[in-house]
Structure 1
Amino acid sequence: MIRIPPPSAVRSSEITPEGLYRNRRRFLAEMGIGAVGLLTAGYTQAKDVPASADGLPLSIAKKSERAGGETPTPFDTVSTYNNYYEFGTNKDDPAQNAGTLKTRPWTVAISGECEAPGMLDLDALLKPHAIEERIYRHRCVEAWSIVVPWAGVPLADVLKRFKPTSKAKYVAFQTIYDKAQMPQAKWSGIELPYVEGLRIDEAMHPLAFLSVGMYGKTMPNQNGAPLRLTIPWKYGFKSIKSIVGIRFVEAMPPTTWNKLQASEYGFFSNVNPEVQHPRWSQKSERRLGELFKRPTLMFNGYPEVASLYSGMDLRKFY
């Protein structure tokens, strides 16, 4: 008997920490990787990661440590444990399936409330900017976390080139959606294309980052090649992958998970251990590759963003 899942199915094991427990062999492997990582100062490079981009080294002009001196999570772990529902809802699906994504040529549509809209080639979009490497902590709403050295450019530097007007109160982002390249997307259980958004002052904050690579090399497809958002003080689903559209808008834009379940996924989605998710606590987290949990930090340990939310009730505006 062949069981065909309905198009709207999203397995609970893929959106709760149970996935780490149920996949025992992967969990044990991560424990071993983590033990090695604790004894080394650097990070490991993958020898054979499926569905990767070209893996070419990037010319990095500047490096900065913004994760409190923590050792980065091994590349093999970060590149094979992903949420990218367009390529499957299991954590290891994207690494197996994302090789169908063509990342060149790649264009990004810039539109909305700005003086210089246009359709830009990715290389032209990035050409005026020097590539930086930044090591950031990241916290997933599912209670796991990672530390990653990203390579890219400050989001603000890119956005300012298009001269947003005074009406631009928010920035909306859209990912690619191509059924031919993403045949698994029909089982994603979410509305596609994936969309996200930031308030304009959040987007212009120095920590907001557009990433084109990680661990010193070009971005693997499963991690959001060739261009993804990296917002370290917010839960991971805010860091939209494979961006093809950026739009300046006056009203708060819709976002994918907020549309699906607003009671669980607010627009702001700042890491806040005091806001209880309806189905699990956010007070603690587990680094992939580590055995024990650690306390979750407010704003994921980036207090410099707190001024963005002065006077806001962060339990209401979660």
Structure 2
Amino acid sequence: MKMRDILRWSDVTPKAFWLSRRQLIAGAAAMVATPALARIDAAPSKYSTDAEPNTLEDITSYNNFYEFGTDKGDPARYAGGLTTDPWSVVIDGLVDKPGTYDLADVVKDQPLEERIYRFRCVEAWSMVIPWIGFELAGLLNRVGVQPGAKFVAFETLVRPEEMPGQSSPFIEWPYREGLRLDEAMHPLTILATGLYGEPMPNQNGAPIRLVVPWKYGFKSIKSIVRISLVDKMPPTTWNMLQPSEYGFYSNVNPNVDHPRWSQASERRIGAGLFGGRQDTLMFNGYEAEVASLYAEQDLAVDF
């Protein structure tokens, strides 16, 4: 049975029902991956924020996904043609069990959770998104991280016939991202397969994407087809394009401005043009959980 035969986008659970019917979410999230995951707990993760989530419309209509265009509405317009079933992910480099894994194998035995995370973009806008996913550390532990590995590199699908933005030479495709190994193994870091109890919409990075909630959104790479364990800091797309503006770490930091705008405040999508501005929180509000990762670093230099 294929994922598209199990749940359809037209069956979206209304927000009010999602907030009250936790068991429905658990079942839907489990089926996104494989029926074998139906045992997941419906309770929200202990890492979830208590902030009100954005609407499904907000989350699915206002996106950065340059593979489909540079306008915020382009992903919703053009991503419907992306084929996400079948899907496989190459896991290679410094691992004990390298290989090409079917999506069902990637999520096999990984406990799916509902995680409501703040999501902050470098253009100074933010959302709160109810992801469905599992800790990246669980997958990495299963494939066996070798002692020499220090970083995890990720790549997005390249399929220009379905991703019209890839006809542009502006970016050297594939889109690339990376994390230091301790960042990748942190329990806040997840691979997400859905949101609001539904399979991941194409414009949000179907069928599987990274979510690193204390970093700017461009670090949370979408539509992943390769995960590589490496011993050196990998090249990342925005750092390759403009290293003076986009550092490798890209932690949310209100004290370090982007060269072309301030990062001290942000606009909450869905709160209105003038009513949604708020102070930016250090590490996007996850300072207590992740500040220790950078205790020996100058974050104005390692931005």
Residue of structure 1 in register with 2:276 after alignment = 292
Query: Is it true that 1:301 corresponds to 2:285 in the alignment?
Result: yes
Does the residue aligned with 2:177 lie in a helix, a strand or coil?
strand
Residue of structure 2 in register with 1:91 after alignment = 72
Aligned equivalents of 2:179, 2:159: Cα separation in 1: 24
Aligned equivalents of 2:165, 2:284: Cα separation in 1: 32
Using structure 1 for the length normalisation, give the TM-score.
0.81
Equivalent residue runs for 1:1-318 within 5 Å: 57-59=28-30, 60-62=40-42, 63-64=44-45, 66-187=47-168, 189-290=170-271, 291-303=275-287, 304-318=289-303
Deviation at 1:64, TM superposition (A): 1.9
Aligned equivalents of 1:239, 1:195: Cα separation in 2: 10
What whole-Å deviation, never above 9, does each CA across 1:269-302 have from its counterpart, x for those lacking one?
0000000110000000011011231100000010
Deviation at 1:41, TM superposition (A): 10
Runs of 4 or more off by more than 3 Å in structure 1?
Answer: 40-43, 65-68
Q: Percent identity?
A: 55
Does the residue aligned with 1:173 lie in a helix, a strand or coil?
strand
Aligned equivalents of 2:191, 2:185: Cα separation in 1: 11
Deviation at 1:225, TM superposition (A): 0.2
Does the residue aligned with 1:161 lie in a helix, a strand or coil?
helix
Deviation at 1:129, TM superposition (A): 1.4
Worse-matched range after superposition: 180-189 or 120-129: 180-189
Name the amino acid aligned to 1:296.
Answer: T
Residues 197, 83 of structure 1: alpha-carbon distance in 2 compared, 3 angstrom cutoff: same
Residue of structure 1 in register with 2:33 after alignment = none
Q: Provide structure 1 residue ranges, at least 5 long, that are not aligned to the other structure.
A: 1-36, 44-55
The answer (yes or no) to whether the contact 2:18–2:197 under 8 Å persists in 1 is no
Aligned equivalents of 2:118, 2:251: Cα separation in 1: 13
Aligned equivalents of 2:119, 2:83: Cα separation in 1: 26
Aligned equivalents of 1:271, 1:41: Cα separation in 2: 32
The answer (yes or no) to whether the contact 2:54–2:128 under 8 Å persists in 1 is yes
Deviation at 1:187, TM superposition (A): 2.9
Name the amino acid aligned to 1:57.
Answer: A
Aligned equivalents of 1:212, 1:150: Cα separation in 2: 8
Deviation at 1:181, TM superposition (A): 1.3
Aligned residue-pair number: 269
Aligned equivalents of 1:188, 1:287: Cα separation in 2: 31
Aligned equivalents of 2:209, 2:134: Cα separation in 1: 11
Deviation at 1:93, TM superposition (A): 0.6
Name the amino acid aligned to 2:28.
Answer: P
The answer (yes or no) to whether the contact 2:112–2:134 under 8 Å persists in 1 is yes
Does the residue aligned with 2:29 lie in a helix, a strand or coil?
coil
Aligned equivalents of 2:64, 2:28: Cα separation in 1: 24
What whole-Å deviation, never above 9, does each CA across 1:1-56 have from its counterpart, x for those lacking one?
xxxxxxxxxxxxxxxxxxxxxxxxxxxxxxxxxxxx9xx8977xxxxxxxxxxxx9
Does the residue aligned with 2:138 lie in a helix, a strand or coil?
helix
The answer (yes or no) to whether the contact 1:80–1:92 under 8 Å persists in 2 is yes
Aligned equivalents of 2:49, 2:137: Cα separation in 1: 23
Aligned equivalents of 1:121, 1:267: Cα separation in 2: 29
Using structure 2 for the length normalisation, give the TM-score.
0.85
Aligned equivalents of 1:67, 1:85: Cα separation in 2: 28
Q: Provide structure 2 residue ranges, at least 5 long, that are not aligned to the other structure.
A: 1-14, 20-26, 31-39
Does the residue aligned with 2:61 lie in a helix, a strand or coil?
coil
Name the amino acid aligned to 1:245.
Answer: R
Aligned equivalents of 2:229, 2:276: Cα separation in 1: 42
Aligned equivalents of 1:234, 1:152: Cα separation in 2: 17
What whole-Å deviation, never above 9, does each CA across 1:115-135 have from its counterpart, x for those lacking one?
111110001111211211100
